[in-house]
Amino acid sequence: MPTGELDGRTAIVTGGGSGIGRAIALRFARAGARVAIVDIAAQSAAGVADEAGSLGATSLSVSCDVSRQGDVADAFRHIEGQLGPVDVLVNSAGVAHIGTVEQTTEEDLDRLYAVNVKGVYNCLRVAVASMKGRGGVILNIASVAATVGIPDRFAYSMTKGAVLTMTYSIARDYVSHGVRCNALSPARVHTPFVDGYLAKNYPGREGEMFEQLSRTQPIGRMGRPEEIADLALFLCSDAAGFITGSNVPIDGGFVTLKM
C-alpha cells in the first residue's frame, strides 16, 4: 500500500540490487519516490526496478561501479536526466571481509577501500553538488563495526569507521545548505550474504550456524532487511527533519546490552 512519505522525490539507492539496498529501494517505492537502483550487478538492479515498478513507482536501474568516479558521475547525470534532481541518496553499496590484520592481504584492503570508502565518497561528492541550495537527505549505511570491536573484521571495521566519520563531515559542512546526512548502523542482518557465507564455510551445518549467529544479538535473532528499510525511510523523510549528523543503531541490543 502506498504511504506517501517521499511523494514527488527522486531517491538513489546504491547497492540496491540485493539485501538491505533492495529492501530500502522497495520501501521508498511504496512511499512514493521515484527510485533509481544503482548496482554493479545489472541484472539484479533491473529486477528490483521491475519490482518497484510493480508497486506503482517510477523506477530506473543503472549498472555502475561506485569505485569509479567517472562512472558515478555518468550514472547520476543519467538518473537526474530521467527522474529529476536527486533529493535522497542512500549509500548502501558495500563489500564484506572476514579476517584479522594478519589475514587481510593488500588486495583485500584495496578492494574494501575502493567500494566501501571511495565508493561512498564518489557518490557523496556528486550528490552534495546537486543538493546544495535545494536541500536533500543523505543516508550512509555504516555498521555496529564502526564503533565496537568485532572479532575478525579488521578491514571491514576500518571502512565502516570511515563511512561514519564521512557522515559527520558532510552533516557539518552542508547543514547550512539544507542537506541532512545521517548514518544507520545495523548489526547482523539476514541477507543473501549471510546465506552464502554459511553455505561456503559450514556446508551441512548451515541451520546450526545460523542459529549460533542469531544468538549473538541479545534480542535473539538477526535483523530483517525490511526493518532496516523502515528506519531508513523515517530518516530520509520529513518526519526526521530535525535529525542530522547522527549515527542511528539498529542492532537488537548488540552495542548497549552486550558491553
Q: 167 and 142 in contact (C-beta within 8 Å)?
A: yes
**Mean pLDDT value of segment 113-119:** 98
Grid coordinates given for 6? 517521499
pLDDT number for residue 3: 81
For the stretch 133-192, pLDDT in tens is 899 999 999 999 999 999 999 999 999 999 999 999 999 999 999 999 999 999 999 988
For the stretch 189-220, pLDDT in tens is 998 888 887 888 888 998 988 998 898 889 99
The alpha carbon torsion through 165, 253, 217, 199 (nearest 10 deg) reads: -40
Q: What DSSP letter does each residue of 37-74 carry, written as one string?
A: EEES-HHHHHHHHHHHHHTT--EEEEE--TT-HHHHHH
Residue 259 pLDDT > 80: no
Distance CA 128, CA 151 (A): 35
For the stretch 32-58, pLDDT in tens is 999 999 999 999 999 999 999 999 999
Residue 224 pLDDT > 70: yes
**Mean pLDDT value of segment 248-257:** 93
Contacts of 101 (CB under 8 A, 6+ apart): 154
Residue 233 pLDDT > 80: yes
Distance CA 49, CA 37 (A): 6
When pLDDT is cut at 50, 70 and 90, the band that residue 9 belongs to is: very high
Indicate the DSSP class of residue 148. Answer: S
Helix (H) or strand (E) segment spanning residue 138: strand 136-141
**Residue 168 annotated as catalytic:** no
Of the candidates 119, 118, 95, 120, the one whose C-alpha atom is nearest the C-alpha of residue 108 is 95
pLDDT number for residue 220: 92
When pLDDT is cut at 50, 70 and 90, the band that residue 1 belongs to is: low
What average pLDDT is seen over the chain? 95
**Percentage above 70 pLDDT, the chain:** 99
- Set 156, 174, 197, 202: catalytic member: 156
- List domains and CATH numbers for the chain: 10-187+223-258 (3.40.50.720)
